[in-house]
Amino acid sequence: MNRPALAVLGSSAFCFVTAETLPVGLLPQIADGLHVGEARIGLLLTSYAVVAAISTIPLTALTMRASRHLLLAITMAVFVVSQGAAAFAPTFLVLAATRLICALAHGVFWSIIGPVTARLAPPGQAGRATALVFVGNSLAIVAGVPVGTALGQWLGWRVAIGAVAAGGAVCVLLLRRVLPALDPLPHDRETRLGTQLRASVAIIRDRRVALLCAITGILVIGHFAAYTYIAPLVRRDGGLQGFGLSALLLGYGAAALVAGYAVGRHVDRRPGPALILLLAVLAGAVALLAPVLGPVPTIVAALLWGGAFCAIPVCLAATVLRIAPLARDAASAVYVVSFQIGIGAGAFVGERFASAGLLGGLPLLAAGLAVVALVMVARARAVFPSRLAEADHHLAATH
């Protein structure tokens, strides 16, 4: 297993996740600095998700014949330029424009990182390699956003965004240094652009891919509806705010690290049971936040929630690679779209609930949708088998 290359991919993922969510922590500072209302700053996340969802499939098809190692470096270079421009943005519109440019690179990056990770892993260990790369996502929650928020409060939001851009620049250099040459697969290199684009759109007709995307969308909508308002939820339930809230969020991310490592040991062997267990823990944990139970149950529930949800994308990303071995980039692009739709829709639904005074209903919504996803996973044995040997048999029968 090429651990240096996987570490750099994880570091690049860390930068993308930190940059996407950092405005949440720096919302008041950015609003004051650009003289706009805080509600408008919230649009930075929604617009980012929308652009990433719309652009992922066509841009992935457009770049199908590009060398994978060069394309990853280019997406990170676009990230660096956009974040550098954001740090000097004189107006809200300029800041929004830089974020949208970053969103264009975001979709391509996340569409190809899974297939690249699989190519860097020994046979039968793609899931474990994916778990190692996804440590970057968890570290963004543990350290990236909290440290970036603290840095922005201390030295200003522009310095915080500039620091993320600097981290991205280091990743560009490391990608060029440690990532081996990865030419596009012969099938992708020889296919015309129009055919690639049609294949990327048509992949959703694959029942297994469509089912995976449906499960992803349902789950992510529920999660982000509640997670967007985790601060007022834990303040209401456990009186946690200020340092207490920061400590809880750090614990949330730490639980994600542990769970991600643990699931990486099983996703290549027993993907179905691993995902069902995570969904069951997620549903039970987030449901505990519906009533007001006090500090200790709130903390336990939030930590279980963080560990369960942040490990789930490891299972889903590994499943994409397994069920569409002949169209991994196209299937990954569709999966990324479903995830981004879930983020945007979840944040919107959460805002509607909160505005209507139904904050306590958000955990119930998230738990209910997690149960729906659990039932769908349990019934989809061809997509989420009890043992990987079942998946190998199914693929052999269909290809």
Distance CA 178, CA 181 (A): 9
pLDDT number for residue 80: 97
Name 271's Cβ contacts closer than 8 Å, sequence gap at least 6. Answer: 127, 315, 318, 319, 322, 384, 385, 388, 391
DSSP 8-state code for residue 239: -
In order of their start, the domains of the chain are 1-202 (1.20.1250.20), 206-399 (1.20.1250.20)
* pLDDT tens digits along 334-356: 888 898 889 888 878 887 887 78
Distance CA 336, CA 317 (A): 9
End-to-end CA distance of the chain: 27
Q: Please, where are the H alpha helices in 179-326?
A: 186-190, 193-202, 207-227, 230-238, 243-264, 271-287, 295-323
DSSP 8-state code for residue 121: S
pLDDT number for residue 390: 46
Pick the closest to residue 286 from 266, 310, 308, 317 (CA basis): 308
Distance CA 337, CA 58 (A): 11
pLDDT number for residue 149: 78
Place of tokens 């967007």: 228
Pick the closest to residue 255 from 299, 303, 300 (CA basis): 303
pLDDT number for residue 248: 73
* pLDDT tens digits along 1-21: 688 999 999 999 999 989 987
Q: pLDDT averaged over consecutive 10-residue blocks of the chain (399 residues)?
A: 89 92 77 78 77 87 86 96 95 93 92 88 80 81 78 89 96 94 65 62 81 94 84 68 67 78 78 92 92 82 88 87 78 86 85 82 94 95 78 41
Place of tokens 């303040």: 235
Query: Average pLDDT over the chain, rounded to whole?
Result: 83
What backbone torsions phi and psi does residue 234 show, to the nearest 5 degrees?
-75, -25
DSSP 8-state code for residue 387: S
pTM (predicted TM-score): 0.79
